[in-house]
Amino acid sequence: MLENLNRIEVVNPVDLIISQIRDLISSGSVKPGEKLPPERKLAEHFGVSRNQVREAINKLQFYGIVKVQPQSGTTVTGIGIVALEGLITDILKIEDSDLKSLVDTRILLEKEAARLAALNRTNDDLVQLTNALKEYKNKLSASDHAVEEDLMFHIKIAEASNNKVLKSLMMIITPDIVKKFIQYKVCNVANNNQTLEEHQNILDMISNQDAAGAVRAMEVHLSDIKKFSNNKN
Amino acid sequence: MLENLNRIEVVNPVDLIISQIRDLISSGSVKPGEKLPPERKLAEHFGVSRNQVREAINKLQFYGIVKVQPQSGTTVTGIGIVALEGLITDILKIEDSDLKSLVDTRILLEKEAARLAALNRTNDDLVQLTNALKEYKNKLSASDHAVEEDLMFHIKIAEASNNKVLKSLMMIITPDIVKKFIQYKVCNVANNNQTLEEHQNILDMISNQDAAGAVRAMEVHLSDIKKFSNNKN
DNA sequence: TTGTTAGATTTGGTCGACCAATAATTGGAT
DNA sequence: ATCCAATTATTGGTCGACCAAATCTAACAA
């Protein structure tokens, strides 16, 4: 019965304003490098309050579409078509993605991170990794729930890879992975002692600067997760 | 002379508030799942206006640290340590990264996207890719500057891969790549006709569902860029 | 004609007050 | 004692007004 009722579309007004401004850019009215009309004009033109326009511009700034300069104006950065193809809503909305995409992509990044870490790690990186592993062990013996420490170890690997972009991307998807894992209660599946051993293996390979070995160790480590995600979706 | 003067630290007040709230979370005063103190209390406690607190909370919501529920409160999501290790500032600040990291990571993502696209592409994907290639060709013959159309083709490949996360990540780093390319004037280096041919090759491989071939074609296509980035940094 | 400067205007940033929806409290009926 | 409805308090959201910095204008001097 109820499912036949149309879902009420409660559209956020700022999202509407965002797409309006987007149209302004994609139609060519305002080209990259040029200034957006002032907030007051936009507010008047759209028939909304200035605060709504401000919030919309704020979001656009987050996405890197525009850059606001106090007491001067808001300029459109030269990112062009890419962000305008109705894609804005896609960026950073990974939470709707299916678990498989998330895990597959994570594995891709993690393997590369392990490889680069084996090649580029400094001695300080090894210390950091060892510490992270130790903290993970401690947390495990205390509370048998150490998702954050687990992921922290992986983040440290990304750091050791000396590729900031890789690290940033991993950090972008990591929270979503945690969310999904908690949602599906993956933790119960994992054997914590085995995880610990696998972490140690990865660390050894990185320590020995064995790139291929590190990739392999990481692959083994993530195989369980991959299996799980394949079953789900 | 001038370089001996200390640079004036013009710290954004909201960033300070953000770290204050972060401390509130990492110190354990507010655990994941619990509610943050109301905006008014926070404003009073920090001795700032409520708007500043609102803006800070807005940013935290963007980063996925908290979730605001109108007329109810702001709850801390369970993302834990990861976002708190002083890492917030790292996320999405890819623009400071060196070109090599950017290009290396892009190549990693692009090869995987090409592989998955060859495996998963639908007929509609082929139409989209063909159109994107055509638009690129048109723009080239008209203006010999078609960076956006070029990248659009790559985005379409990511779409055809049927891995939303991969696509999102590519879209996150793409604007930065464009920026760097314009900065270093990479466009002059590129031979546009050759690029066109390479795009056609990739499309053919994807069309034939030849995964290995698609990866290879993508590798060839990006090899010039890789060479360039290796020389720079 | 050109360069400079004082004033007016426009800009995004900030603030305090008010709004509607939610949550908490309280009072009474059973 | 328990449950429920009406009331009150609290919450994030919205708005219009004001602020200081940047920009523009134009008048004046060289």
Q: Which one is the CATH code of A11-84: 1.10.10.10, 3.40.50.1370, 2.60.15.10, 3.30.70.3460?
A: 1.10.10.10
Biggest CA-to-CA distance, chain A = 65
Q: How many helices (DSSP H) and strands (DSSP E) are in chain B?
A: 9, 2
Per residue in B101-126, pLDDT (tens digit) is 888 999 999 999 999 999 999 999 99
Structure confidence at residue B79 (pLDDT): 57
Q: How far is the CA of B38 from the C1' of C30 (A)?
A: 38
Instruction: Count CB neighbours of B95 within 10 A.
Output: 11
Handedness of CA B81, A113, A171, A76 (dihedral sign): positive
Range A94-232 classified under CATH 3.40.630.30: no
Residue at B3: amino acid letter: E
C-beta separation of A137 from A123 below 8 A:
no
* Helix, strand, or coil (residue B58): helix
Q: Show the CA angle centred on residue A111, arms to residues A105 and A117, nearest 5°.
A: 130
Structure confidence at residue A85 (pLDDT): 52
Q: Which one is the CATH code of B2-83: 3.40.50.720, 2.120.10.30, 1.10.10.10, 3.40.1390.10?
A: 1.10.10.10
Two tokens, residue B25: 């979370």
Report the range of poorest mean pLDDT among B21-35, B109-123, B183-197. Answer: B183-197
Structure confidence at residue A207 (pLDDT): 96
Per residue in B218-230, pLDDT (tens digit) is 999 998 778 877 7
Q: How far is the CA of A73 from the C1' of C10 (A)?
A: 10
Q: Report domain extents, chain B.
A: 2-83, 94-232
Alpha-carbon Rg for chain A, nearest whole angstrom, is 23
Q: How far apart are CA A133 and CA A126, in angstroms?
A: 10
For residue A194, what pLDDT band results from cuts at 50, 70 and 90? Answer: confident
Find the nucleotide nearest A57 (Cα to C1′): C12
Strand A73-76 to strand B73-76: parallel, antiparallel, or no bridges (unpaired)? unpaired
Residue B47 C-alpha, separation from nearest chain A C-alpha, in angstroms = 23
C-beta separation of A90 from B172 below 8 A:
no
Domain A11-84 shares a fold with domain A94-232: no
Task: Please list, in sequence order, all residues whose beta carbon lies within 8 angstroms of the beta carbon of residue A17, skipping any fewer than 6 positions away.
Answer: A42, A46, A48, A52, A53, A56
Residues of A (73-112) whose Cβ lies below 8 Å from B: 77-83, 85, 87, 90-94, 96-98, 101-102, 104-105, 108-109, 112
Structure confidence at residue B225 (pLDDT): 78
Q: How far is the CA of A72 from the C1' of D23 (A)?
A: 7
For residue A79, what pLDDT band results from cuts at 50, 70 and 90? Answer: low
The mean pLDDT value for B211-223 works out to 94
In this complex, the residue of B104, B168, B178 whose CB is nearest that of residue A94 is B168
From A147, which residue of chain B is nearest by alpha-carbon distance?
B80
Q: How far apart are CA B150 and CA B131, in angstroms?
A: 12
Task: Please list, in sequence order, all residues whose beta carbon lies within 8 angstroms of the beta carbon of residue B65, skipping any fewer than 6 positions away.
Answer: B22, B25, B76, B77, B79, B83, B88
